[in-house]
Amino acid sequence: MSRPRIVIIGATSAIAEQCARLWVRAAVDIILIGRDLVRVSRVAADLRVRSPQSSVTAHEVNFFDPVSITALAQKLAAEKAIDIVLIAHGNLPDQKECEQNITQAREALEINGVSPVLFAEAFAQQMEQVGRGTIAVIGSVAGDRGRKTNYVYGAAKGMVERYVQGMQHRFAHSKITIVLIKPGPTATPMTAHLPQRGMASAEAVASRIITAIDAGTPVTYVPAKWAIIMMVIRHLPRSIFNKLNI
Protein backbone atom coordinates (compact mmCIF):
# COMPACT_ATOMS: atom_id res chain seq x y z
CA MET A 1 0.00 0.00 0.00
CA SER A 2 1.21 3.53 -0.75
CA ARG A 3 1.79 5.74 2.25
CA PRO A 4 -0.80 8.39 3.12
CA ARG A 5 -0.57 11.81 1.46
CA ILE A 6 -1.61 14.55 3.87
CA VAL A 7 -2.02 18.29 3.33
CA ILE A 8 -2.04 20.64 6.33
CA ILE A 9 -3.24 24.21 5.80
CA GLY A 10 -2.19 26.61 8.53
CA ALA A 11 0.72 24.31 9.30
CA THR A 12 2.41 26.72 11.71
CA SER A 13 -0.49 26.67 14.18
CA ALA A 14 0.27 24.82 17.40
CA ILE A 15 -2.49 22.26 16.92
CA ALA A 16 -1.57 21.62 13.29
CA GLU A 17 2.08 21.14 14.19
CA GLN A 18 1.17 18.61 16.87
CA CYS A 19 -1.02 16.74 14.38
CA ALA A 20 1.88 16.63 11.94
CA ARG A 21 4.18 15.22 14.63
CA LEU A 22 1.69 12.43 15.28
CA TRP A 23 1.30 11.64 11.60
CA VAL A 24 5.04 11.43 10.91
CA ARG A 25 5.47 8.69 13.49
CA ALA A 26 4.73 6.50 10.48
CA ALA A 27 6.04 7.04 6.96
CA VAL A 28 3.83 9.64 5.26
CA ASP A 29 3.95 12.22 2.52
CA ILE A 30 3.08 15.47 4.25
CA ILE A 31 2.56 18.85 2.59
CA LEU A 32 2.63 21.94 4.79
CA ILE A 33 0.90 25.13 3.66
CA GLY A 34 1.11 28.55 5.29
CA ARG A 35 1.25 32.26 4.66
CA ASP A 36 4.93 32.61 5.63
CA LEU A 37 7.30 30.20 3.88
CA VAL A 38 10.09 30.81 6.40
CA ARG A 39 7.91 29.73 9.32
CA VAL A 40 6.45 26.78 7.41
CA SER A 41 9.94 25.66 6.43
CA ARG A 42 10.99 25.61 10.10
CA VAL A 43 8.12 23.24 10.88
CA ALA A 44 9.07 21.10 7.88
CA ALA A 45 12.70 20.89 9.00
CA ASP A 46 11.65 19.72 12.46
CA LEU A 47 9.41 17.02 10.98
CA ARG A 48 12.18 15.75 8.70
CA VAL A 49 14.43 15.27 11.73
CA ARG A 50 11.66 13.43 13.57
CA SER A 51 10.79 11.25 10.57
CA PRO A 52 13.56 10.78 7.98
CA GLN A 53 11.39 8.13 6.31
CA SER A 54 8.66 10.69 5.52
CA SER A 55 8.49 13.20 2.68
CA VAL A 56 7.85 16.72 3.96
CA THR A 57 7.38 19.73 1.69
CA ALA A 58 6.47 23.36 2.42
CA HIS A 59 4.40 25.81 0.39
CA GLU A 60 3.33 29.44 0.75
CA VAL A 61 0.03 30.77 -0.57
CA ASN A 62 -2.20 33.82 -0.21
CA PHE A 63 -4.97 32.59 2.11
CA PHE A 64 -7.38 35.24 0.83
CA ASP A 65 -6.95 34.67 -2.91
CA PRO A 66 -9.36 32.12 -4.41
CA VAL A 67 -7.32 31.88 -7.62
CA SER A 68 -4.12 31.03 -5.75
CA ILE A 69 -5.91 28.56 -3.48
CA THR A 70 -7.49 26.77 -6.43
CA ALA A 71 -4.22 26.67 -8.36
CA LEU A 72 -2.36 25.14 -5.43
CA ALA A 73 -5.05 22.51 -4.83
CA GLN A 74 -4.97 21.58 -8.53
CA LYS A 75 -1.17 21.41 -8.58
CA LEU A 76 -0.95 19.16 -5.51
CA ALA A 77 -3.76 16.87 -6.68
CA ALA A 78 -2.18 16.54 -10.14
CA GLU A 79 1.04 15.24 -8.58
CA LYS A 80 -0.73 12.46 -6.67
CA ALA A 81 -4.14 11.86 -5.08
CA ILE A 82 -4.54 13.43 -1.64
CA ASP A 83 -5.82 11.27 1.20
CA ILE A 84 -6.32 13.85 3.98
CA VAL A 85 -6.59 17.62 4.13
CA LEU A 86 -6.50 19.31 7.55
CA ILE A 87 -7.59 22.97 7.54
CA ALA A 88 -6.29 24.44 10.77
CA HIS A 89 -5.66 28.16 10.37
CA GLY A 90 -7.24 31.10 12.13
CA ASN A 91 -6.67 33.64 14.86
CA LEU A 92 -8.48 34.97 17.90
CA PRO A 93 -9.41 38.63 17.32
CA ASP A 94 -10.02 41.21 20.01
CA GLN A 95 -13.79 41.58 20.14
CA LYS A 96 -13.77 45.20 21.33
CA GLU A 97 -11.31 46.23 18.63
CA CYS A 98 -13.50 44.56 16.00
CA GLU A 99 -16.52 46.45 17.27
CA GLN A 100 -14.67 49.75 16.97
CA ASN A 101 -12.90 49.02 13.69
CA ILE A 102 -14.90 47.12 11.11
CA THR A 103 -11.82 46.64 8.96
CA GLN A 104 -10.48 44.40 11.72
CA ALA A 105 -13.86 42.71 11.93
CA ARG A 106 -13.74 41.96 8.20
CA GLU A 107 -10.21 40.58 8.46
CA ALA A 108 -11.22 38.33 11.37
CA LEU A 109 -14.24 37.03 9.47
CA GLU A 110 -12.12 36.32 6.40
CA ILE A 111 -9.27 34.44 8.08
CA ASN A 112 -11.50 32.47 10.47
CA GLY A 113 -14.48 31.85 8.22
CA VAL A 114 -14.15 32.61 4.51
CA SER A 115 -10.60 31.37 3.98
CA PRO A 116 -11.07 27.92 5.59
CA VAL A 117 -14.17 27.14 3.54
CA LEU A 118 -12.49 28.27 0.32
CA PHE A 119 -9.69 25.80 0.98
CA ALA A 120 -12.25 23.10 1.76
CA GLU A 121 -14.10 23.73 -1.49
CA ALA A 122 -10.92 23.83 -3.58
CA PHE A 123 -9.67 20.49 -2.27
CA ALA A 124 -13.15 18.93 -2.40
CA GLN A 125 -13.20 19.62 -6.13
CA GLN A 126 -9.99 17.66 -6.53
CA MET A 127 -11.13 14.78 -4.34
CA GLU A 128 -14.39 14.58 -6.26
CA GLN A 129 -12.44 13.82 -9.41
CA VAL A 130 -10.79 10.75 -7.85
CA GLY A 131 -13.83 9.82 -5.75
CA ARG A 132 -12.23 9.63 -2.33
CA GLY A 133 -10.49 11.55 0.45
CA THR A 134 -11.04 13.20 3.83
CA ILE A 135 -11.25 16.91 4.59
CA ALA A 136 -11.06 17.91 8.25
CA VAL A 137 -11.80 21.49 9.25
CA ILE A 138 -11.06 22.97 12.66
CA GLY A 139 -13.99 25.08 13.82
CA SER A 140 -14.67 26.08 17.41
CA VAL A 141 -17.20 25.75 20.20
CA ALA A 142 -17.49 29.54 19.81
CA GLY A 143 -19.59 28.92 16.70
CA ASP A 144 -22.38 27.25 18.67
CA ARG A 145 -24.00 30.45 19.94
CA GLY A 146 -23.22 34.12 19.54
CA ARG A 147 -21.88 35.63 22.76
CA LYS A 148 -20.99 39.25 23.43
CA THR A 149 -17.38 38.46 24.35
CA ASN A 150 -16.42 36.91 20.99
CA TYR A 151 -19.22 37.08 18.46
CA VAL A 152 -17.00 38.13 15.55
CA TYR A 153 -14.89 35.00 15.95
CA GLY A 154 -17.98 32.96 16.80
CA ALA A 155 -19.82 34.15 13.68
CA ALA A 156 -16.89 33.11 11.50
CA LYS A 157 -16.78 29.67 13.10
CA GLY A 158 -20.56 29.39 12.83
CA MET A 159 -20.17 29.97 9.09
CA VAL A 160 -17.56 27.22 8.93
CA GLU A 161 -19.95 24.81 10.64
CA ARG A 162 -22.83 25.54 8.25
CA TYR A 163 -20.55 25.21 5.24
CA VAL A 164 -19.18 21.90 6.49
CA GLN A 165 -22.71 20.64 7.11
CA GLY A 166 -23.57 21.41 3.51
CA MET A 167 -20.50 19.59 2.25
CA GLN A 168 -21.31 16.60 4.44
CA HIS A 169 -24.77 16.48 2.90
CA ARG A 170 -23.31 16.83 -0.59
CA PHE A 171 -20.89 13.93 -0.15
CA ALA A 172 -23.08 11.75 2.08
CA HIS A 173 -23.29 8.94 -0.49
CA SER A 174 -19.69 9.06 -1.61
CA LYS A 175 -16.26 8.03 -0.36
CA ILE A 176 -15.39 11.63 0.45
CA THR A 177 -15.55 12.34 4.17
CA ILE A 178 -15.90 15.80 5.71
CA VAL A 179 -15.00 16.14 9.39
CA LEU A 180 -15.60 19.11 11.69
CA ILE A 181 -13.45 19.52 14.81
CA LYS A 182 -14.74 21.88 17.51
CA PRO A 183 -12.08 22.54 20.14
CA GLY A 184 -12.78 24.33 23.36
CA PRO A 185 -10.17 26.74 24.76
CA THR A 186 -6.73 25.29 24.03
CA ALA A 187 -3.33 26.32 25.38
CA THR A 188 -1.62 27.70 22.27
CA PRO A 189 0.14 30.96 21.38
CA MET A 190 -3.23 32.21 20.10
CA THR A 191 -4.67 32.04 23.63
CA ALA A 192 -1.49 32.93 25.55
CA HIS A 193 -3.05 36.23 26.70
CA LEU A 194 -5.97 34.40 28.36
CA PRO A 195 -6.05 32.54 31.69
CA GLN A 196 -4.69 29.06 30.97
CA ARG A 197 -6.38 27.18 33.80
CA GLY A 198 -8.61 24.42 32.50
CA MET A 199 -7.42 24.68 28.91
CA ALA A 200 -6.63 21.51 26.99
CA SER A 201 -3.11 21.05 25.67
CA ALA A 202 -2.42 21.27 21.94
CA GLU A 203 -1.00 17.74 22.11
CA ALA A 204 -4.22 16.31 23.58
CA VAL A 205 -6.38 18.15 21.06
CA ALA A 206 -4.21 16.91 18.19
CA SER A 207 -4.55 13.32 19.34
CA ARG A 208 -8.33 13.62 19.34
CA ILE A 209 -8.27 15.21 15.89
CA ILE A 210 -6.29 12.31 14.44
CA THR A 211 -8.73 9.85 16.00
CA ALA A 212 -11.73 11.74 14.59
CA ILE A 213 -10.18 11.83 11.12
CA ASP A 214 -9.38 8.12 11.19
CA ALA A 215 -12.96 7.35 12.26
CA GLY A 216 -14.56 9.85 9.87
CA THR A 217 -16.59 11.31 12.73
CA PRO A 218 -18.80 14.13 11.37
CA VAL A 219 -18.48 16.39 14.44
CA THR A 220 -16.04 16.06 17.32
CA TYR A 221 -15.88 18.32 20.36
CA VAL A 222 -12.43 18.45 21.94
CA PRO A 223 -12.30 17.73 24.86
CA ALA A 224 -15.55 15.75 24.77
CA LYS A 225 -16.99 17.64 27.77
CA TRP A 226 -17.58 20.63 25.49
CA ALA A 227 -20.37 18.79 23.72
CA ILE A 228 -22.36 18.87 26.97
CA ILE A 229 -21.32 22.39 27.94
CA MET A 230 -22.31 23.83 24.57
CA MET A 231 -25.56 21.88 24.46
CA VAL A 232 -26.54 23.65 27.69
CA ILE A 233 -25.44 27.06 26.36
CA ARG A 234 -27.30 26.57 23.07
CA HIS A 235 -30.54 25.72 24.86
CA LEU A 236 -30.52 28.36 27.58
CA PRO A 237 -33.59 30.57 27.31
CA ARG A 238 -32.72 34.04 26.06
CA SER A 239 -33.95 35.63 29.30
CA ILE A 240 -31.35 33.66 31.26
CA PHE A 241 -28.61 33.76 28.62
CA ASN A 242 -28.73 37.58 28.43
CA LYS A 243 -27.89 37.83 32.13
CA LEU A 244 -24.64 35.90 31.71
CA ASN A 245 -21.30 37.63 31.25
CA ILE A 246 -19.85 35.11 28.81
Architecture of domain 5-241: 3-Layer(aba) Sandwich (3.40)
- Residue range 184-213, pLDDT digits in tens: 988 776 676 677 667 889 999 999 999 999
- Residue range 132-164, pLDDT digits in tens: 999 999 999 999 999 999 999 999 999 999 999
Q: Give CA–CA dist 156/1, Å, rounded.
A: 39
pLDDT at 1 over 90: no
Query: Which pLDDT belongs to residue 186?
Result: 85
Query: Which pLDDT belongs to residue 192?
Result: 66
Least confident of 101-110, 118-127, 186-195: 186-195
- Residue range 19-55, pLDDT digits in tens: 999 999 999 999 999 999 999 999 999 999 999 999 9
First to last CA, the chain: 50
C-alpha closest to that of 151 among 109, 180, 198: 109
pLDDT at 125 over 80: yes
- Residue range 56-99, pLDDT digits in tens: 999 999 999 999 999 999 999 999 999 999 999 999 999 999 99
Q: Where are the domains of the chain?
A: 5-241
Query: Which pLDDT belongs to residue 241?
Result: 96
Q: Give CA–CA dist 170/125, Å, rounded.
A: 12
- Output the furthest CA–CA distance in the chain (Å, rounded): 58
pTM beyond 0.85: yes
Query: Which pLDDT belongs to residue 200?
Result: 85
**CB neighbour class for 242 (10 Å; exposed up to 12, middle 13-18, buried from 19):** exposed
